[in-house]
């Protein structure tokens, strides 16, 4: 029937369909290429490739056709020709010229604002540390006065920019709404207490220099910009991973500054009494600042060994110094204790839990092997997670934030589980919030063969071995981080299916566990996903329970199925035909069956 009209027309249609499929594939590839790289031109626009490209390397290659010159847009766009390609770039100077300062600044998350606060705090520290030094010690002289004034007015410029540029652009919250309107932000700052203090900081008392000379005490209002210092502390601690280190440094700086101010006051008192006039005052020898600072340390920390004051002024000054030193030093010690205590609060909690557990095990005379494993679990869990129970930390967060953290940690793994593909996305989100972290020690059994499966496991870190074989100790497969197992048991009917193999931890393994009870509580709200999961679970269980061949692997499907056995009644008839001498239709059928068996073999 090959030559018939019907067969000929079907062959033509088949060839035409194959051509159409080929054209559609080529068109799809072109569209994909254009979507991936919009600059790629079509076949009609691009010049034909030269056949010389396919020639051997020894043959001379003729020059390629020159591409038509691209229309370079006029204006501020620049091009850099490198090798055979043209790259679009913009000089850094143009970036700087076209930079637009933000109309509003988020003071809680904007790192640029934190950097600006750093410069403001540096200017504030210049005034706080060096105004007392220039007032008390003879370090400011007519020869270097212009250097001091240059840095002073640079700090004033930073103060002024902070008021005019940054503080008037800070967002604020009013009635639960984040206000970003320029006029509203400016009015909010002008009505605030901080604006009044900032204005006082920039009082132009420098004009009195023309009357009384360059006296550093006229710049004392610059030290009142303390709000910027405390705001910078809060913002910096929020972005540091180990904020307690900065707190310790800051508390130490408080102590050093109090000693610094005390040394300046001591030199001023010595100059007032007369350098070297008594044994109590500074004698004027050596480095004046270092010697006065040494005296301030011995006084404030009440070390003792100081010369006795002689005059009434010296006695009153020393008494006030002792009282101030005791008060300031006790405050510094208490603050340092709080900082260190807050930094080691987690470590203290871990130690107390471990000590209570050891005391409990000793009271009930638990074997040493079990005690050692418990201690190992405590140590590894603490060092790997920084806490004993992650849920204690996450329970303080709102539900939305817990979901965001769970999505970042586990969504990529759970979404790849074959059982959950195609389900409602919100169902997976609810499952992520129910996952709990468990740490297994080396050779711990995650699940045992024959027990009822009620959990699904997700490997976060480490490896587990699936054991099987006649002795139950043969490693069938090793599952690594990101693998999932036990998911079918979550939806198995009849109380859960039984585990078919032992699973043990190869080393330390961090696993996330989802309980069957939690999943059932979630599926109540997703009936369509529940039907889909039940259907998938039955299909997966059916595939797992298929008969296996001799090697323990499910048999491969045969392209040609085996022929059914000959019925017994028909075999008896064939045998009777053979006894009749091999004649008749039955004998011919018997001979035909023999040929078929030979061909099948």
pLDDT (tens digit per residue) in 491-514: 665 555 678 788 999 888 888 898
CB 166, CB 232: distance < 8 Å? no
Residue 8, φ and ψ in degrees, nearest 5: -65, -40
pLDDT tens digits, residue range 150-189?
999 999 999 999 999 999 999 999 888 889 999 999 999 9
Residue 405 contacts by C-beta under 8 Å, 6 or more apart in sequence?
A: 394, 397
The token pair that represents 81 in the structure block: 């020709």
- Using the predicted structure, report yes or no on whether residue 463 has a pLDDT greater than 80: yes
Q: How is residue 286 annotated by DSSP?
A: S
CB 158, CB 186: distance < 8 Å? no
The token pair that represents 280 in the structure block: 């109590």
Which pLDDT band, with edges at 50, 70 and 90, does 527 fall under?
Answer: confident
The token pair that represents 428 in the structure block: 């997976």
CATH code for the domain defined by 390-545: 2.60.120.10
Taking CA 240 as the corner, what is the angle to CA 387 and CA 246, rounded to the nearest 5 degrees?
100
pLDDT tens digits, residue range 465-481?
999 888 878 898 999 88
Which pLDDT band, with edges at 50, 70 and 90, does 190 fall under?
Answer: very high
Which pLDDT band, with edges at 50, 70 and 90, does 544 fall under?
Answer: low
Give, in order, the Cα–Cα distances in Å from 488 to each of 22, 462, 482.
42, 22, 17
Residues facing 511 on adjacent strands: 438, 459
Taking CA 423 as the corner, what is the angle to CA 418 and CA 424, rounded to the nearest 5 degrees?
150
CB 436, CB 462: distance < 8 Å? no
pLDDT tens digits, residue range 245-271?
899 899 999 999 999 999 999 999 999
- Which residue ranges does the chain devote to CATH 2.60.120.10? 390-545
Buried b (16+ CB within 10 A) or exposed e, 259-280: bbbbbbbbbbbbbebeeeeeeb
């Amino acid at each position: 029937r090959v030559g018939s009209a019907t067969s000929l027309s079907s062959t033509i249609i088949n060839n035409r369909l194959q051509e159409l499929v080929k054209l559609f594939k080529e068109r799809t590839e072109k569209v994909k290429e254009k979507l991936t790289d919009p600059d790629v031109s079509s076949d009609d626009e691009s010049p034909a490739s030269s056949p010389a490209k396919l020639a051997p390397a020894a043959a001379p290659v003729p020059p390629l056709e020159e591409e038509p010159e691209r229309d370079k847009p006029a204006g501020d766009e620049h091009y850099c020709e490198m090798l055979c390609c043209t790259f679009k770039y913009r000089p850094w100077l143009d970036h700087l010229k076209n930079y637009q300062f933000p109309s509003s600044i988020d003071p809680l998350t904007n790192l640029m604002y934190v950097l600006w606060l750093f410069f403001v705090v540096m200017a504030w520290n210049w005034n706080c540390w060096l105004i007392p030094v220039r007032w008390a010690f003879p370090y400011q002289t007519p020869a270097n006065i212009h250097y001091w004034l240059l840095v002073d007015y640079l700090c004033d410029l930073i103060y002024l920019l902070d008021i005019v540029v940054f503080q008037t652009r800070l967002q604020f919250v009013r009635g639960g709404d984040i206000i970003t309107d320029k006029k509203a932000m400016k009015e909010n700052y002008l009505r605030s207490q901080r604006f009044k203090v900032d204005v006082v900081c920039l009082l132009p008392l420098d004009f009195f220099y023309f009357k009384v000379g360059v006296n550093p005490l006229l710049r004392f209002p610059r030290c009142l910009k303390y709000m910027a210092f405390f705001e910078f502390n809060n913002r910096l601690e929020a972005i540091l991973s180990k904020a307690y280190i900065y707190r310790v440094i800051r508390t130490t700086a408080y102590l050093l500054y109090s000693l610094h101010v005390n040394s300046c006051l001591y030199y001023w008192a010595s100059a007032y009494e007369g350098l070297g006039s008594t044994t109590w005052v500074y004698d004027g020898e050596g480095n004046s600042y270092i010697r006065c600072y040494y005296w301030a340390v011995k006084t404030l920390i009440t070390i003792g060994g100081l010369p006795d004051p002689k005059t009434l002024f010296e006695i009153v000054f020393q008494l006030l110094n002792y009282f101030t030193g005791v008060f300031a030093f006790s405050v510094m010690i208490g603050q340092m204790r709080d900082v260190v205590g807050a930094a080691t609060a987690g470590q203290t909690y871990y130690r107390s839990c471990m000590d209570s557990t050891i005391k409990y095990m000793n009271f009930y005379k638990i074997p040493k092997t079990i005690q050692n494993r418990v201690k190992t679990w405590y140590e590894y869990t603490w060092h790997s997670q920084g806490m004993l129970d992650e849920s204690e930390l996450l329970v303080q967060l709102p539900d939305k934030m817990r979901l965001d953290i769970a999505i970042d940690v586990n969504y990529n793994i759970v979404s790849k589980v074959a059982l959950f593909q195609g389900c409602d996305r919100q169902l997976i989100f609810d499952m992520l919030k129910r996952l709990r972290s468990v740490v297994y020690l080396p050779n711990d059994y995650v699940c045992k063969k024959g027990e009822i499966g009620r959990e699904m496991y997700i490997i976060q870190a480490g490896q587990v071995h699936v054991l099987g074989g006649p002795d139950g100790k043969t490693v069938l497969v090793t599952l690594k981080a990101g693998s999932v197992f036990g998911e079918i048991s979550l939806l198995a009917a009849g109380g859960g299916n039984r585990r078919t193999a032992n699973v043990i931890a190869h080393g330390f393994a961090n696993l996330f566990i989802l309980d069957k009870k939690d999943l059932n509580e979630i599926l109540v709200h997703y009936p369509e996903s529940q039907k889909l999961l039940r259907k998938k679970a039955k299909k997966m269980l059916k595939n797992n329970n298929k008969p296996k061949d001799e090697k323990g692997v499910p048999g491969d499907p045969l392209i040609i199925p085996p022929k059914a056995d000959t019925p017994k009644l028909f075999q008896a008839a064939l045998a009777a035909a053979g006894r009749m001498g091999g004649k008749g239709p039955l004998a011919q059928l018997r001979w035909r069956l023999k040929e078929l068996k030979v061909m099948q073999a």
